[in-house]
Protein backbone atom coordinates (compact mmCIF):
# COMPACT_ATOMS: atom_id res chain seq x y z
CA UNK A 1 0.00 0.00 0.00
CA UNK A 2 1.19 3.53 -0.72
CA UNK A 3 2.25 5.48 2.37
CA UNK A 4 1.19 8.81 0.92
CA UNK A 5 -1.62 9.20 -1.61
CA UNK A 6 -2.38 12.52 -3.26
CA UNK A 7 -5.77 12.05 -4.89
CA UNK A 8 -7.35 14.30 -7.50
CA UNK A 9 -6.45 17.58 -5.79
CA UNK A 10 -8.14 20.72 -7.06
CA UNK A 11 -7.41 24.08 -5.43
CA UNK A 12 -8.83 27.39 -6.56
CA UNK A 13 -7.84 30.45 -4.51
CA UNK A 14 -10.49 33.11 -3.70
CA UNK A 15 -8.99 35.36 -6.41
CA UNK A 16 -10.04 32.71 -8.95
CA UNK A 17 -6.51 31.40 -9.53
CA UNK A 18 -6.49 27.65 -10.21
CA UNK A 19 -3.44 26.45 -8.24
CA UNK A 20 -4.03 22.69 -8.66
CA UNK A 21 -5.89 21.04 -11.49
CA UNK A 22 -6.70 17.43 -10.60
CA UNK A 23 -3.26 16.37 -9.35
CA UNK A 24 -2.69 12.79 -8.16
CA UNK A 25 0.40 10.77 -7.27
CA UNK A 26 1.52 8.20 -4.72
CA UNK A 27 4.59 7.45 -2.65
CA UNK A 28 5.54 4.04 -1.37
CA UNK A 29 7.32 3.57 1.95
CA UNK A 30 11.05 4.39 1.90
CA UNK A 31 10.83 6.36 -1.33
CA UNK A 32 12.33 9.81 -1.91
CA UNK A 33 10.14 11.70 -4.37
CA UNK A 34 11.02 15.08 -5.87
CA UNK A 35 8.26 17.59 -6.56
CA UNK A 36 9.43 19.88 -9.37
CA UNK A 37 7.90 22.87 -11.11
CA UNK A 38 8.39 26.54 -11.93
CA UNK A 39 7.52 29.34 -9.49
CA UNK A 40 3.81 29.22 -8.83
CA UNK A 41 3.37 25.69 -10.27
CA UNK A 42 1.55 24.53 -7.12
CA UNK A 43 4.24 22.65 -5.16
CA UNK A 44 3.79 24.47 -1.84
CA UNK A 45 0.02 24.27 -2.19
CA UNK A 46 0.34 20.46 -2.33
CA UNK A 47 2.50 20.49 0.81
CA UNK A 48 0.08 22.85 2.56
CA UNK A 49 -2.84 20.52 1.74
CA UNK A 50 -0.80 17.48 2.85
CA UNK A 51 -0.19 19.17 6.20
CA UNK A 52 -3.88 20.07 6.58
CA UNK A 53 -3.06 23.81 6.50
CA UNK A 54 -4.74 24.47 3.18
CA UNK A 55 -8.19 23.11 2.32
CA UNK A 56 -8.56 21.61 -1.18
CA UNK A 57 -11.73 22.30 -3.20
CA UNK A 58 -11.73 18.71 -4.39
CA UNK A 59 -9.74 15.56 -3.66
CA UNK A 60 -7.82 14.51 -0.58
CA UNK A 61 -4.46 13.38 0.75
CA UNK A 62 -4.18 10.09 2.62
CA UNK A 63 -1.22 9.15 4.80
CA UNK A 64 -0.92 5.54 5.97
CA UNK A 65 -4.55 5.13 4.95
CA UNK A 66 -5.86 8.12 6.99
CA UNK A 67 -7.41 11.10 5.24
CA UNK A 68 -5.70 14.38 6.23
CA UNK A 69 -8.92 16.24 5.48
CA UNK A 70 -11.11 13.96 7.64
CA UNK A 71 -8.77 12.71 10.40
CA UNK A 72 -5.92 15.21 10.46
CA UNK A 73 -4.31 14.23 13.78
CA UNK A 74 -4.32 10.52 12.88
CA UNK A 75 -2.98 11.14 9.40
CA UNK A 76 -0.23 13.48 10.60
CA UNK A 77 0.77 11.43 13.65
CA UNK A 78 3.89 10.15 11.88
CA UNK A 79 4.69 13.12 9.66
CA UNK A 80 7.45 15.71 10.13
CA UNK A 81 7.92 18.77 7.95
CA UNK A 82 10.01 21.77 7.06
CA UNK A 83 7.38 24.01 5.51
CA UNK A 84 8.26 27.55 4.45
CA UNK A 85 10.98 29.43 6.38
CA UNK A 86 11.63 28.15 9.90
CA UNK A 87 11.09 30.76 12.64
CA UNK A 88 12.83 30.50 15.99
CA UNK A 89 12.94 32.69 19.08
CA UNK A 90 16.40 34.21 18.75
CA UNK A 91 16.75 34.96 22.47
CA UNK A 92 16.29 31.23 23.29
CA UNK A 93 18.74 28.39 22.74
CA UNK A 94 18.18 25.68 20.14
CA UNK A 95 17.20 23.31 22.92
CA UNK A 96 14.70 25.81 24.41
CA UNK A 97 13.20 26.47 20.98
CA UNK A 98 12.59 22.75 20.53
CA UNK A 99 11.02 22.61 23.99
CA UNK A 100 8.59 25.43 23.09
CA UNK A 101 7.70 23.84 19.73
CA UNK A 102 7.22 20.38 21.24
CA UNK A 103 4.99 21.82 23.98
CA UNK A 104 2.44 22.58 21.24
CA UNK A 105 1.91 18.85 20.77
CA UNK A 106 2.52 17.90 24.41
CA UNK A 107 5.35 15.53 23.46
CA UNK A 108 8.79 15.74 25.12
CA UNK A 109 11.43 13.06 25.63
CA UNK A 110 14.77 14.47 26.70
CA UNK A 111 16.82 11.46 25.58
CA UNK A 112 15.18 11.43 22.15
CA UNK A 113 15.77 15.19 21.74
CA UNK A 114 19.46 14.73 22.62
CA UNK A 115 19.70 11.87 20.13
CA UNK A 116 18.12 13.88 17.30
CA UNK A 117 20.26 16.96 18.03
CA UNK A 118 23.34 14.76 17.80
CA UNK A 119 21.99 13.23 14.59
CA UNK A 120 21.68 16.67 12.94
CA UNK A 121 25.12 17.60 14.23
CA UNK A 122 23.92 20.30 16.64
CA UNK A 123 24.70 18.48 19.87
CA UNK A 124 27.44 20.87 20.95
CA UNK A 125 25.61 24.08 20.02
CA UNK A 126 22.19 23.08 21.33
CA UNK A 127 22.57 25.26 24.42
CA UNK A 128 23.66 28.38 22.54
CA UNK A 129 21.17 31.09 21.60
CA UNK A 130 19.80 30.65 18.07
CA UNK A 131 20.74 34.26 17.20
CA UNK A 132 24.32 32.98 17.05
CA UNK A 133 23.40 30.22 14.56
CA UNK A 134 24.39 30.28 10.89
CA UNK A 135 21.71 29.70 8.23
CA UNK A 136 22.88 26.09 7.92
CA UNK A 137 22.56 25.54 11.67
CA UNK A 138 19.03 27.00 11.62
CA UNK A 139 18.09 24.58 8.86
CA UNK A 140 19.50 21.72 10.93
CA UNK A 141 17.48 22.91 13.93
CA UNK A 142 14.38 23.03 11.69
CA UNK A 143 15.18 19.48 10.65
CA UNK A 144 15.57 18.41 14.29
CA UNK A 145 12.14 19.87 15.00
CA UNK A 146 10.69 17.97 12.01
CA UNK A 147 12.24 14.76 13.37
CA UNK A 148 10.68 15.02 16.85
CA UNK A 149 9.32 12.48 17.45
CA UNK A 150 10.93 10.40 14.67
CA UNK A 151 8.38 10.42 11.79
CA UNK A 152 7.75 7.82 9.09
CA UNK A 153 7.24 10.49 6.48
CA UNK A 154 9.16 13.75 6.05
CA UNK A 155 7.97 16.68 3.92
CA UNK A 156 10.65 19.15 2.90
CA UNK A 157 9.74 22.46 1.27
CA UNK A 158 12.85 23.78 -0.48
CA UNK A 159 15.03 22.81 2.49
CA UNK A 160 18.36 23.87 1.02
CA UNK A 161 17.27 27.38 -0.04
CA UNK A 162 19.97 29.84 0.92
CA UNK A 163 22.51 27.21 1.98
CA UNK A 164 26.05 27.33 0.62
CA UNK A 165 27.30 24.37 -1.50
CA UNK A 166 28.87 22.70 1.52
CA UNK A 167 25.65 23.11 3.51
CA UNK A 168 23.63 21.70 0.59
CA UNK A 169 25.86 18.64 0.40
CA UNK A 170 25.71 18.08 4.15
CA UNK A 171 21.93 18.40 4.12
CA UNK A 172 21.62 16.02 1.16
CA UNK A 173 23.80 13.37 2.77
CA UNK A 174 21.84 13.66 5.96
CA UNK A 175 18.48 13.22 4.22
CA UNK A 176 19.80 10.18 2.33
CA UNK A 177 20.91 8.71 5.66
CA UNK A 178 17.40 9.18 7.10
CA UNK A 179 16.12 6.94 4.35
CA UNK A 180 18.89 4.33 4.56
CA UNK A 181 18.96 4.12 8.38
CA UNK A 182 15.28 4.63 9.22
CA UNK A 183 13.45 3.72 5.99
CA UNK A 184 11.91 7.18 5.99
CA UNK A 185 9.62 8.26 3.15
CA UNK A 186 10.61 11.73 1.97
CA UNK A 187 8.79 14.24 -0.24
CA UNK A 188 11.20 16.91 -1.46
CA UNK A 189 9.87 20.11 -2.95
CA UNK A 190 12.74 21.73 -4.81
CA UNK A 191 13.75 24.05 -7.64
CA UNK A 192 17.16 22.47 -7.77
CA UNK A 193 17.27 19.87 -10.51
CA UNK A 194 20.71 18.63 -9.45
CA UNK A 195 19.39 18.07 -5.94
CA UNK A 196 16.47 16.01 -7.24
CA UNK A 197 18.79 14.11 -9.59
CA UNK A 198 21.10 13.16 -6.73
CA UNK A 199 18.54 12.39 -4.05
CA UNK A 200 15.29 11.22 -5.53
CA UNK A 201 14.09 7.83 -6.79
CA UNK A 202 11.21 9.36 -8.73
CA UNK A 203 9.85 12.78 -9.50
CA UNK A 204 6.59 14.56 -10.24
CA UNK A 205 6.75 17.59 -12.53
CA UNK A 206 4.03 20.25 -12.33
CA UNK A 207 3.21 23.00 -14.77
CA UNK A 208 0.57 25.60 -13.92
CA UNK A 209 -1.12 23.30 -11.45
CA UNK A 210 -1.18 20.27 -13.76
CA UNK A 211 0.88 17.12 -13.40
CA UNK A 212 3.03 16.78 -16.53
CA UNK A 213 5.13 13.79 -15.47
CA UNK A 214 5.38 11.16 -12.76
CA UNK A 215 8.09 8.51 -12.97
CA UNK A 216 11.77 7.75 -12.55
CA UNK A 217 14.16 10.71 -12.57
CA UNK A 218 14.84 10.68 -16.35
CA UNK A 219 18.63 10.97 -16.21
CA UNK A 220 18.79 7.97 -13.87
CA UNK A 221 16.82 5.78 -16.24
CA UNK A 222 19.01 2.68 -16.45
CA UNK A 223 17.76 1.53 -19.84
CA UNK A 224 19.68 3.22 -22.60
CA UNK A 225 17.46 3.98 -25.55
CA UNK A 226 18.98 7.06 -27.21
CA UNK A 227 22.24 7.00 -29.19
CA UNK A 228 24.15 9.48 -31.32
CA UNK A 229 25.22 8.26 -34.75
CA UNK A 230 27.78 9.73 -37.15
CA UNK A 231 27.82 8.30 -40.67
CA UNK A 232 28.09 9.44 -44.28
CA UNK A 233 25.84 6.52 -45.38
CA UNK A 234 22.65 8.17 -44.21
CA UNK A 235 20.38 6.72 -46.89
CA UNK A 236 21.44 3.14 -46.06
CA UNK A 237 21.12 3.83 -42.34
CA UNK A 238 17.59 5.15 -42.81
CA UNK A 239 16.60 1.89 -44.55
CA UNK A 240 17.81 -0.08 -41.52
CA UNK A 241 15.95 2.24 -39.16
CA UNK A 242 12.67 2.01 -41.05
CA UNK A 243 12.89 -1.84 -41.04
CA UNK A 244 13.57 -2.04 -37.30
CA UNK A 245 11.29 0.71 -36.00
CA UNK A 246 14.11 3.02 -34.90
CA UNK A 247 13.42 6.78 -34.93
CA UNK A 248 16.14 9.00 -36.39
CA UNK A 249 16.42 12.77 -36.01
CA UNK A 250 18.74 14.01 -38.77
CA UNK A 251 19.22 17.43 -37.16
CA UNK A 252 20.59 16.11 -33.86
CA UNK A 253 21.81 12.73 -35.21
CA UNK A 254 19.91 11.13 -32.36
CA UNK A 255 18.38 7.71 -32.76
CA UNK A 256 15.76 6.39 -30.38
CA UNK A 257 15.31 2.64 -30.05
CA UNK A 258 11.97 0.89 -29.65
CA UNK A 259 11.67 -0.94 -26.28
CA UNK A 260 12.39 -4.44 -27.71
CA UNK A 261 15.74 -3.49 -29.30
CA UNK A 262 19.14 -3.08 -27.65
CA UNK A 263 21.80 -0.69 -28.95
CA UNK A 264 24.24 -3.44 -29.97
CA UNK A 265 21.53 -5.14 -32.09
CA UNK A 266 20.92 -1.96 -34.10
CA UNK A 267 24.65 -1.45 -34.47
CA UNK A 268 24.97 -5.02 -35.83
CA UNK A 269 22.16 -4.37 -38.35
CA UNK A 270 23.93 -1.19 -39.51
CA UNK A 271 27.22 -3.02 -39.98
CA UNK A 272 25.52 -5.91 -41.81
CA UNK A 273 23.89 -3.36 -44.16
CA UNK A 274 27.40 -2.00 -44.83
CA UNK A 275 26.75 1.37 -43.24
CA UNK A 276 30.11 2.98 -42.37
CA UNK A 277 29.60 3.91 -38.72
CA UNK A 278 32.01 6.73 -37.85
CA UNK A 279 30.79 7.09 -34.30
CA UNK A 280 28.09 5.57 -32.14
CA UNK A 281 27.61 6.63 -28.55
CA UNK A 282 24.93 6.46 -25.91
CA UNK A 283 23.22 9.77 -25.19
CA UNK A 284 22.01 10.53 -21.65
CA UNK A 285 19.34 13.20 -21.48
CA UNK A 286 19.83 15.28 -18.34
CA UNK A 287 16.95 16.05 -16.00
CA UNK A 288 17.36 19.68 -17.06
CA UNK A 289 16.80 18.86 -20.76
CA UNK A 290 13.81 16.71 -19.88
CA UNK A 291 12.33 19.29 -17.49
CA UNK A 292 12.76 22.23 -19.86
CA UNK A 293 11.33 20.20 -22.75
CA UNK A 294 8.29 19.25 -20.70
CA UNK A 295 7.53 22.61 -19.12
CA UNK A 296 8.31 24.55 -22.29
CA UNK A 297 10.55 26.90 -20.31
N1 LIG B 1 -2.86 32.28 -0.25
C2 LIG B 1 -2.94 32.41 -1.57
N3 LIG B 1 -3.89 33.19 -2.14
C4 LIG B 1 -3.98 33.31 -3.47
N5 LIG B 1 -3.16 32.68 -4.36
C6 LIG B 1 -2.20 31.93 -3.85
C7 LIG B 1 -2.02 31.73 -2.44
N8 LIG B 1 -0.97 30.90 -2.24
C9 LIG B 1 -0.51 30.57 -3.47
N10 LIG B 1 -1.23 31.18 -4.43
C11 LIG B 1 -1.06 31.07 -5.89
O12 LIG B 1 -1.20 29.67 -6.23
C13 LIG B 1 -0.28 29.30 -7.24
C14 LIG B 1 0.58 28.15 -6.74
O15 LIG B 1 1.42 28.63 -5.68
P16 LIG B 1 2.46 27.71 -4.91
O17 LIG B 1 3.03 28.54 -3.81
O18 LIG B 1 1.82 26.43 -4.56
O19 LIG B 1 3.55 27.47 -6.04
P20 LIG B 1 5.02 26.85 -5.90
O21 LIG B 1 5.13 25.85 -7.00
O22 LIG B 1 5.27 26.38 -4.53
O23 LIG B 1 5.90 28.13 -6.25
P24 LIG B 1 7.33 28.56 -5.65
O25 LIG B 1 8.32 27.64 -6.26
O26 LIG B 1 7.47 29.96 -6.16
O27 LIG B 1 7.27 28.48 -4.17
C28 LIG B 1 0.53 30.57 -7.54
O29 LIG B 1 -0.05 31.18 -8.67
C30 LIG B 1 0.35 31.43 -6.33
O31 LIG B 1 0.44 32.80 -6.66
CATH number of the domain residue 130 falls in: 3.40.50.300
Q: Would the CB of 39 count as within 6 Å of ligand 1?
A: yes
Nearest atom, ligand 1, residue 15 CA: 4
Cβ–Cβ contacts within 10 Å for residue 285, how many?
A: 14
* 270 and 130 within one domain: no
Would residue 41 count as lying in a domain? Answer: yes
d(CA 270, CA 264): 10
Q: Which residues pair with 21 in a beta bridge?
A: 10
Q: Would the CB of 17 count as within 6 Å of ligand 1?
A: yes
Nearest atom, ligand 1, residue 47 CA: 18
* 65 and 195 within one domain: yes
User: Could you give the ipTM of this predicted complex?
Assistant: 0.95
Distance of CA 152 from the midpoint of ligand 1 (Å): 27
Would residue 269 count as lying in a domain? Answer: yes
* 121 and 95 within one domain: yes
Q: Would the CB of 15 count as within 6 Å of ligand 1?
A: yes
Q: Would the CB of 269 count as within 6 Å of ligand 1?
A: no
Per-residue pLDDT tens digits for 132-146: 998 888 988 999 999
Per-residue pLDDT tens digits for 246-264: 888 888 888 888 877 888 8
What are the φ/ψ torsions at residue 116 (nearest 5 degrees)?
-70, -40
Query: Which of 8-17, 102-111, 155-164 is the least confident region?
Result: 102-111
Distance of CA 158 from the midpoint of ligand 1 (Å): 14
Would residue 221 count as lying in a domain? Answer: no
* 183 and 45 within one domain: yes
Q: Would the CB of 42 count as within 6 Å of ligand 1?
A: yes
Query: From residue 199, how far is each of 156, 202, 204, 259 by CA, in Å?
Result: 13, 9, 14, 27
Of 157, 190, 216, which one is at a domain's C-terminal end? 216
Range of the domain at 232: 226-295
Q: Whose CA is nearest to atom 6 of ligand 1?
A: 13
- For residue 64, what are the contacts with CB-CB under 8 A and spacing of at least 6? 3, 75, 78, 152, 153
Of 216, 243, 277, which one is at a domain's C-terminal end? 216
Distance of CA 159 from the midpoint of ligand 1 (Å): 17
* 150 and 93 within one domain: yes
Which strands sit side by side in the sheet containing 79-82, from one edge to the other? Answer: 79-82, 153-157, 185-189, 32-37, 202-207, 210-216
Distance of CA 18 from the midpoint of ligand 1 (Å): 10
Q: Whose CA is nearest to atom 8 of ligand 1?
A: 45
262-281: average pLDDT = 88
* 203 and 72 within one domain: yes
Average of per-residue pLDDT values in the chain? 88
* 244 and 185 within one domain: no
Q: Would the CB of 19 count as within 6 Å of ligand 1?
A: yes
Number of domains in the chain: 2
Would residue 20 count as lying in a domain? Answer: yes
Judge whether residue 61 has pLDDT over 90.
yes
Q: Whose CA is nearest to atom 3 of ligand 1?
A: 13
* 252 and 193 within one domain: no
* 187 and 51 within one domain: yes
- For residue 161, what are the contacts with CB-CB under 8 A and spacing of at least 6? none
In terms of Cα–Cα distance, which of 52, 41, 297, 31 is closest to 190? 41
pLDDT at 12: 95
Task: Work out whether strand 4-12 and strand 18-27 pair parallel, antiparallel, or are unpaired.
Answer: antiparallel
- For residue 105, what are the contacts with CB-CB under 8 A and spacing of at least 6? none
What are the φ/ψ torsions at residue 274 (nearest 5 degrees)?
60, 35
Would residue 209 count as lying in a domain? Answer: yes
Of 216, 244, 268, which one is at a domain's C-terminal end? 216
Q: Would the CB of 41 count as within 6 Å of ligand 1?
A: yes
Beta strand segments in 93-157, E: 153-157
Q: Would the CB of 190 count as within 6 Å of ligand 1?
A: no
* 111 and 209 within one domain: yes
* 232 and 209 within one domain: no
* 230 and 128 within one domain: no
Judge whether residue 123 has pLDDT over 70.
yes
pTM assigned to the model = 0.79
Amino acid sequence: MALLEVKNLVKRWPNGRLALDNVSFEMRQGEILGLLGHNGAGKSTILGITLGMVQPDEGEVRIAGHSVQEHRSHALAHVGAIYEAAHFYDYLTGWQNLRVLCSLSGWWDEEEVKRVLKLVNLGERAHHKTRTYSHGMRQRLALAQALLPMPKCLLLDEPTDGLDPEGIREFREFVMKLRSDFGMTILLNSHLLAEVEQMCDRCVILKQGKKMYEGPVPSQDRQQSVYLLQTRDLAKAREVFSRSGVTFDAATRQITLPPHLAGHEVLKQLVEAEVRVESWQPHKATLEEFYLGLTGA
